[in-house]
Structure 1
Amino acid sequence: MIICAGNNETFDFATPMGVGLIETTMNITRLCLFDKPEFLLFVGTAGSYGENAIFDIVESKTAANIELAFLQNKAYTPIDNVVSTNTEGTKEIIVNSSNYITTDAELAKGFLRFGIGIENMEFFAVLRVAQEFGIPAGGVFCVTNYCNQDAHADFVANHDRAKALLGEHVKRRIKELTA
């Protein structure tokens, strides 16, 4: 099953699950309880911490939930904040999820030290619920902006093109897999 966030980030081939960690968790859990999918593929846009360029397509099966305060040594968590459905063990870009968008370019560089390359608000919730229900899952993202003071303006300016590129990529990959 192909899923997406919702609101202004929808695709004709994906089912919206909600924006942010909480809505996504609730709706995917509800879905799994009543009609458990065989797989979950999340598609969405993402902000780059600096190594991925705008309009890059990134595929991943690993997500983190690390808040900016952690990078500043002002917070800790007793829970596991990285989840992966990557069974091959290959190195990939980790997608960070938070209900907040990073707008500080210097703090954004801190994520790179942990191997975290991009951020998307929902992906950690997708993988965590998929893990709980034993569902193979992954994500495909198109970068819309860098995580800096212009993050929101760049997201708005690039969102439509990123969605179109993402849609083309996913449809092409589906054809490859079903051929």
Structure 2
Amino acid sequence: MIVSLDKILFCSAIAIELGDLQDFVPHSKDLGVGNLEASIQLSRILQTNPNIQEIVFIGSAGTYDPSKLFFPSYAIGRNYYYREISVWKKESYAPDLLPQFIQTESSDFGVKIVKSNNNFAIADVNSPNSITLIDPQSLPIWVETPMIENMEAFGIARVCQIMKKKFTSVFAITNAVGRDGSQEWNKNHKSMAEELIQIIKRFI
């Protein structure tokens, strides 16, 4: 059963990624950049709006391997990692007590998108606290390797896990992760954010 729109929060890191969707839904908010800021803002919203049952995060991401997930394209997040690049390179260590992997229950709205639109890839997401500039091909191969990088998804997923909310993340894949990533993001982000909002509006 699809929940009503008044029980769904549509959110993003920055306002441009919500576009005019804010005119069509009861709950929408840009949460800020990075895991920490996004998780704090989302926690505040959920504490004052306990009837919200689902979170739909709309963002942009870079692909770690354009040969497997090309850009420009669109993707829906599946699993969520918090893996700093220094940890990935085995130059630092993350204590086992630090949450580093999350699986969330997909929102009904997200399931509807997956079932209705074959143009979305399904991708595991990594959310470090900074933008990666090195070539991802130089990183060690992990048994479970995320496909895309976004700075907010893990923090939001963690709040949803703790507060028992369904969660879906939807991304415009705007660039390849690496030295030229920011330049590619600047070139593609605005138009892809607008197109992604138009796609999402079809399901409202």
The TM-score, its normalising length taken from structure 1, stands at: 0.86
In the aligned structure 2, how far is the partner of 1:135 from the partner of 1:29? 11
Structure 2 counterpart of 1:52: 69
Q: CA deviation at 1:8?
A: 4.6
Cα separation, partners in 2 of 1:60 and 1:154, compared to 1, 3 Å: same
In the aligned structure 2, how far is the partner of 1:112 from the partner of 1:146? 19
Verify: 1:101 aligned to 2:131, yes or no: yes
The one-letter code matched in structure 2 to 1:120 is N
**What SS class does the counterpart of residue 40 from structure 2 fall into?**
helix
* Identity within the alignment, %: 25
Q: Over residues 80-113 of structure 1, what are the superposed CA-to-partner deviations in whole Å (9 max), with x where a residue is unaligned?
A: 20111147xxxx5211112211111145754775
Structure 1 residue ranges (4+ consecutive) displaced by more than 3 angstroms after TM superposition: 7-10, 106-113
One of 3, 21, 34 as aligned partner of 1:20 = 34
Structure 2 counterpart of 1:39: 54
Q: CA deviation at 1:40?
A: 0.1
Verify: 1:85 aligned to 2:104, yes or no: yes
In the aligned structure 2, how far is the partner of 1:145 from the partner of 1:106? 13
Cα separation, partners in 2 of 1:107 and 1:155, compared to 1, 3 Å: same
In the aligned structure 2, how far is the partner of 1:155 from the partner of 1:112? 26
The one-letter code matched in structure 2 to 1:41 is V
The CA RMSD over aligned residues, in Å, is: 2.0
The one-letter code matched in structure 1 to 2:47 is L
Q: Over residues 144-169 of structure 1, what are the superposed CA-to-partner deviations in whole Å (9 max), with x where a residue is unaligned?
A: 10012101111001111210221122
- Gaps in structure 1 of 5+ consecutive residues: none
**What SS class does the counterpart of residue 20 from structure 2 fall into?**
coil
Conservation of the 8 A alpha-carbon contact between 1:102 and 1:108: no
The TM-score, its normalising length taken from structure 2, stands at: 0.76
**What SS class does the counterpart of residue 12 from structure 1 fall into?**
helix
Cα separation, partners in 2 of 1:97 and 1:56, compared to 1, 3 Å: same
In the aligned structure 2, how far is the partner of 1:29 from the partner of 1:114? 29
Cα separation, partners in 2 of 1:109 and 1:48, compared to 1, 3 Å: farther
In the aligned structure 2, how far is the partner of 1:155 from the partner of 1:111? 25
**For this pair of structures, how many residues does the alignment match?**
170
Cα separation, partners in 2 of 1:158 and 1:113, compared to 1, 3 Å: farther
**What SS class does the counterpart of residue 93 from structure 1 fall into?**
strand
Structure 2 counterpart of 1:72: 89
- Gaps in structure 2 of 5+ consecutive residues: 1-8, 22-27, 107-121
In the aligned structure 2, how far is the partner of 1:167 from the partner of 1:145? 18
Conservation of the 8 A alpha-carbon contact between 1:62 and 1:86: no
